[in-house]
Amino acid sequence: MSTAHEAPSGDQGRRSQLLVVLATVILVLVVTLVIVAVTGGSDTADPASEQFRAVQVDGASLIPFGGDTLGDPALGAIAPVITGASFDGSPIAIGPGSPTLVVFLAHWCPHCQAEVPTLVEWAESLRVPFGLDVIAVATATSPDRPNYPPSLWLERERFPFPVLADDASSTAAAALGTTGFPHLVMLSPAGEVMWRFSGQTPEGLLETLVAESLAALS
């Protein structure tokens, strides 16, 4: 005579539910680990940004900066016009029109990391002269070097100025003769080189150089 199978007890049902939950948790963990391995985690990827953008240079590139701000042979030369885009794709141009301070920054450079807070404080204290354009260029970008990506670094620092993302060949940096970081170039409204400076600026020097340049234009 056949007998009916007994229904699973309450304990067996709870064990089955627990196994399902554990399997789901393990699956989620595995998927998360795969995503982190591919993207490198949130500190090494910015899905809303491109760290490299196409750059176009119109005009002759400046000679490489030799480190002598006062004796720079590029003084008075017309800088090439640089067109490109920010990390989010917004168009940016560096060229004639307004007095412009161009600041080249590399995310892995400790001197750049020290210079950026100075620029942020300059802006937040409302000491940037009226009519002066300040444009940064994120260049020499490398996923294999520290503090990558530059878009997240500058966002963390609350960097207030437009940032042009250089291409993988550092075309924008080469166009203005960059040889070290940070590299600062002051351009007149006509696009003439007023001065270049390489390295972290000593306290007060940046504002002095900018003020003297603007005074010379008045």
Q: How far apart are CA 122 and CA 43, in angstroms?
A: 27
pLDDT given at position 17? 61
Q: How far apart are CA 36 and CA 17, in angstroms?
A: 29
Tell me the pLDDT tens digit for each residue of 103-158: 999 999 999 999 999 999 999 999 999 999 999 999 999 999 999 999 999 999 99
- 109-117, Cβ contacts within 8 angstroms, sequence gap of 24 or more: 109/140, 109/181, 109/182, 111/181, 111/182, 111/199, 111/200, 112/181, 112/182, 112/200, 113/147, 113/153, 114/200, 115/182, 115/200, 115/201, 116/154, 116/157, 116/159, 117/157
Amino acid symbol at 119 = L
Q: How far apart are CA 85 and CA 187, in angstroms?
A: 19
Q: How far apart are CA 101 and CA 155, in angstroms?
A: 20
Q: Which two tokens stand for residue 14?
A: 């709870």
Q: How far apart are CA 25 and CA 125, in angstroms?
A: 50
178 vs 44: which has the higher pLDDT: 178
Tell me the pLDDT tens digit for each residue of 17-72: 655 555 554 554 544 443 434 344 334 445 557 999 999 999 999 999 999 999 99
Q: Which two tokens stand for residue 196?
A: 């270049």
pLDDT given at position 9? 52
CATH of 56-217, one of 3.40.50.150, 3.40.30.10, 3.30.70.360, 3.50.50.60: 3.40.30.10
pLDDT given at position 49? 77
CB 172 within 8 Å of CB 84: yes
Tell me the pLDDT tens digit for each residue of 63-112: 999 999 999 999 999 999 999 999 999 999 999 999 999 999 999 999 99
CB 56 within 8 Å of CB 179: no
pLDDT of 169 > 60? The answer is yes
- DSSP code of residue 62: P
- DSSP code of residue 44: G
Entry pTM: 0.79
pLDDT of 208 > 50? The answer is yes
pLDDT given at position 102? 98
pLDDT given at position 14? 59
Chain centroid to CA 47: 14
